[in-house]
Amino acid sequence: MSSGLRFDRVSVAYGGTTVLDSLDLTVEPGEVMALLGPSGSGKTTALRAVAGFVRPAAGRVFIGDRDVTGLPPHRRGIGMVVQQYALFPHMRVEDNVAFGLKAQKAPKDEIRGRVAEALEMTGMAAYARRHPRELSGGQQQRVAIARALAIRPGVLLLDEPLSALDARLRSGMLSELARLHRELPHVSILYVTHDQVEALTLADRIAVMDKARLQDVGTPRELYRAPRTEFTASFVGNANLLPVTVGSGGVDFSGTELKVPTRDAARGTTATLCVRPHLVGLGAGPNALTGSVIEVQWRGATHRLYIEVAGHRVMADLRELRQPPALGDEITVHFGPEDAVLLSAGVTPERSAPVAVRETVGAADQGSRDG
């Protein structure tokens, strides 16, 4: 079944506080959409509105062409996996997986076949007779996924399904999920996470949420290479965000002229220049910045240098740095004109809050994705 999913100006409020504000978002049939955002931004609430566990104060939810806003959860044809497995502890694995099918009153033979199929897909066929307490965390999460898949949902909702697992297991399960999606190309997946690596790895598109609102939506590549806002720039990958004044054919950063595409930004306006740390190179070149080293972090494949330039911290991720500079050394770094993105001036006041340099975890190697 291929159906897709659509939020049509969906708002949710708790006790008068809006926690999801007019969400407009379409997940195409077979698409993996990641909902990425900080804690409390409304991601789980959006998912619960699709599943039918929370009733929108306004707006409609569509699955395929069907308006499901008023339907109870079990009639929406949705599979859902949450962070904490939530298996029934007293039921064997096979009965957990059969649960949704039994609720649908499917015939016995069909239930047996579908349970076997779902356990096979998730690599759990050998564990059918065990109880959840006899399984590891990763195995329990596979069973939870098998249970969600058993009803052959058109839409699969995953709410931080890997966050209870350790880093190694998480990476393995991430590959498993990618494989599952290849085997089920018609299933639309809405994948909630605050981990940008998961979002970049798995998603066809990413919807960036902050403060109950959708801030941005695009392919991982679009959001990484050409973010529209400071929030997206700093949340999807690491970013140097430099305050600049637009000139002709470039910008002024604290008295230094930088040649960067200014698009249609008006001369004399202030804006923010986004430069990814892995695109900053050592030594002189176009768009050179000179300052003193205030921190050096060794990260295995790279060194992250923090350089103070005209009162701002500039991050540079450098590969193959045999002799890292010492703290206090004066060094020059540079970046190519095409490697900087001028973020739209006139962003909303909320978004233009001072974010001189914001760091996000786990993104040290994301540059490699885009080459």
Please tell me the count of residues contacting Mg ion according to CB under 5 A: 1
Q: Name which position in 1, 9, 14, 310 contacts ligand ATP (CB under 6 A).
A: 14
What burial class does residue 126 get, using C-beta atoms within 10 Å of its C-beta: 0-12 exposed, 13-18 middle, 19+ buried? exposed
Contact assessment for residue 96 and residue 88, using Cβ atoms and an 8 Å cutoff: yes
x-or-dash string of contact with ligand ATP, 151-190, rule CB under 6 A: ----------------------------------------
* Under rule CB under 6 A, residue 39 binds ligand ATP: yes
Binding of residue 19 to ligand ATP (CB under 6 A) = yes
Which is closer to Mg ion, CB of 158 or CB of 200?
158
Q: Are 345 and 230 in contact (CB under 8 A)?
A: no
**45 binds, options Mg ion, ligand ATP, none, Cβ within 5 to 8 A by partner type:** ligand ATP
Q: Residue 45 interacts with ligand ATP (CB under 6 A)?
A: yes
Residue placing its CB nearer to Mg ion in the complex, 163 or 292? 163
Binding site partner of 132, from ligand ATP, Mg ion, none, Cβ cut-off 5-8 A by kind: none
Could you tell me which stretch among 39-47, 239-247, 270-278, 350-358 binds ligand ATP (CB under 6 A)? Answer: 39-47
Q: CA 232, 238, 244, 247 torsion: positive or negative? A: negative
Tell me the C-alpha distance between 107 and 116, whole Å. 14
Query: Which among 42-50, 54-62, 108-116, 286-294 is the span making contact with Mg ion, rule CB under 5 A?
Result: 42-50
Over the range 284-302, which residues count as b (16 or more CB within 10 Å of their CB) and which as e? eeebebebebeebeeeeeb
- Report d(CA 68, CA 49) in Å as an integer: 10
Q: Does residue 193 interact with Mg ion by CB under 5 A?
A: no
Closest CA relative to residue 203, chosen from 32, 30, 365, 69: 32
Q: Look up residue 333 and give its amino acid.
A: V
Q: In the complex with ligand ATP, which residue's Cβ is closer, 19 or 343?
A: 19
Q: Which is nearer to ligand ATP, 344 or 360 (CB)?
A: 360
Q: Between residues 42 and 56, which has the closer beta carbon with respect to ligand ATP? A: 42
Using CB under 6 A as the binding rule, the residues of this chain from 189 to 208 that contact ligand ATP are 194
Q: What is the spatial distance between Cα 344 and Cα 205, in angstroms, rounded to a whole number? A: 21
Q: What are phi and psi of 72, to 5 degrees?
A: -70, 155
Using the rule CB under 5 A, is 140 a contact of Mg ion?
no
User: Using an 8 Å Cβ cutoff, are 41 and 16 in contact?
Assistant: no
Judged by CB, which is closer to Mg ion: 44, or 122?
A: 44
Binder among 3, 44, 140, 287 for Mg ion (CB under 5 A): 44
Q: Could you say whether residue 287 binds Mg ion (CB under 5 A)?
A: no
Residue 41 as a binder of Mg ion (CB under 5 A): the answer is: no
Place of tokens 């991720």: 317
What does the CA dihedral 161, 167, 170, 175 come to, rounded to 10 degrees? 150
Residues near ligand ATP, by CB under 6 A? 14, 19, 37, 39-45, 194
Residues near Mg ion, by CB under 5 A? 44
